Amino acid sequence: MARETIFLVQAFLAGKGNGLKADTPMRCRSAEAARKTAERLAPTKAGVVAFATAGDSELGDYDETPTIIFKAGRLPAQFDDT
C-alpha cells in the first residue's frame, strides 16, 4: 500500500498529581478539520494536540516525528520540541 497522510487529534485529561491521561485519538479528514476539532476541545481538556503523520497503514510504519498543526494546554514531553 502507498504511504498516506493521516490527521489526528489527541486530547488529554488531568490524571493523578501532575499526570495526564490520553483520551481516544480522533482521526480527521484534513489538517483544517483537525485544527478546528482541537480548537473546539481545548477549553474543556487539560491539553490537546492536532498533528499529521505519514506512513503505511498496512505495515504500521509511520513517521517518528509528526507535523504539529495545533497544540494547547499541558501536553506530554514528546510534544515539547515539535
Tens-place pLDDT, residues 29-74 = 999 999 999 999 999 999 999 999 988 777 777 777 889 999 999 9
Judged against a pLDDT cut of 60, whether residue 82 lies above it is answered with no
Give the per-residue pLDDT at 34: 98
Give the per-residue pLDDT at 17: 83
Give the per-residue pLDDT at 72: 97
Kindly state the cell numbers that stand for 69.
Answer: 498543526
Phi, psi of 77 (to 5 degrees): -55, -30
Q: In the chain, how many domains are there?
A: 1
Give the per-residue pLDDT at 1: 59
Phi, psi of 8 (to 5 degrees): -130, 150
Nearest Cα neighbor of 52 from 43, 42, 61, 63 is 63
Q: What's the residue count for the chain?
A: 82
| Domain span including residue 55 | 4-79
Residue with cell 515539535: 82
State how far the alpha carbon of 24 is from the alpha carbons of 2, 3, 39, in Å: 26, 23, 16
